[in-house]
Structure 1
């Protein structure tokens, strides 16, 4: 199975000036664990995850004053839609992260998470009747 089969095409993109509270609210509303942070001044993209927000809160920082830019990972590993799920899982394991931004011809087309991969690999995806059989 390939990344394109597992990735979420519901991609939340925010700006670097969004506060962590705003980012968390948007992530919660869309039920996603990561937001792509696009900085038009640098033409670069990074990723802000649930873990980044939790780490900031755990450090006692104010989510109404902390910006996405201050907590964004900019040294991002990107996946291609044609990668196998094994390749994506290996990249996540090697890098110690749970989300990969998926690029196709330098355009963001999705995000694949550990959860997406598990859903594809899990026998629970099969119909319940098939499991009972």
Structure 2
């Protein structure tokens, strides 16, 4: 299975001047764990994750003043839609992160997460089976 088959095509894009509170509200409303941060001045694509926001709050920083640009990861590993899920999982495991921005012709077209990969690899069960011995 390929990244294009598993990725979410709902890409939340924010700017570096969004506050962390604004970013968290947008991420929550769209039920996503990461936002692509586009900085037109720096001509770059970064990512802000729920973990970045959590770390800022845990450090006692004010989410109304802290900006996405300050907490954005800019040293990003990107995936291609034609990557296998194995390639994506290996990149995540090697880099220690849970989201990959998917680029097609240098444009963000999706995000693939560990959760997306697990959904594809683990068949869903409609009725959980009991593990208790009868």
Same fold (TM over 0.5): yes
In 2: Cα distance, 1:8 partner to 1:123 partner: 18
Paired residue for 2:33?
A: 33
Deviations 1:50-104 (A, max 9, x none): 0000000000000000000000000000000000000000000000000000001
How many aligned residue pairs are there?
Answer: 128
User: Map of 1:1-133 to 2, 5 A cutoff?
Assistant: 1-124=1-124, 128=126
RMSD: 1.2
Provide runs of 4+ in structure 1 moved above 2 Å.
none
Q: In structure 1, the residue corresponding to 2:16 is in which secondary structure?
A: coil
| TM-score for both structures, normalised by structure 1 | 0.94
Deviations 1:97-124 (A, max 9, x none): 0000000111111000000000001121
| TM-score for both structures, normalised by structure 2 | 0.93
1:42 positional shift: 1.1
Deviations 1:15-56 (A, max 9, x none): 000000000000000000000000010110100000000000
Unaligned runs of 5+ in 2: 130-134
In 2: Cα distance, 1:102 partner to 1:31 partner: 18
Q: Counting helix residues as a fraction of each chain, which structure ranks higher?
A: 1
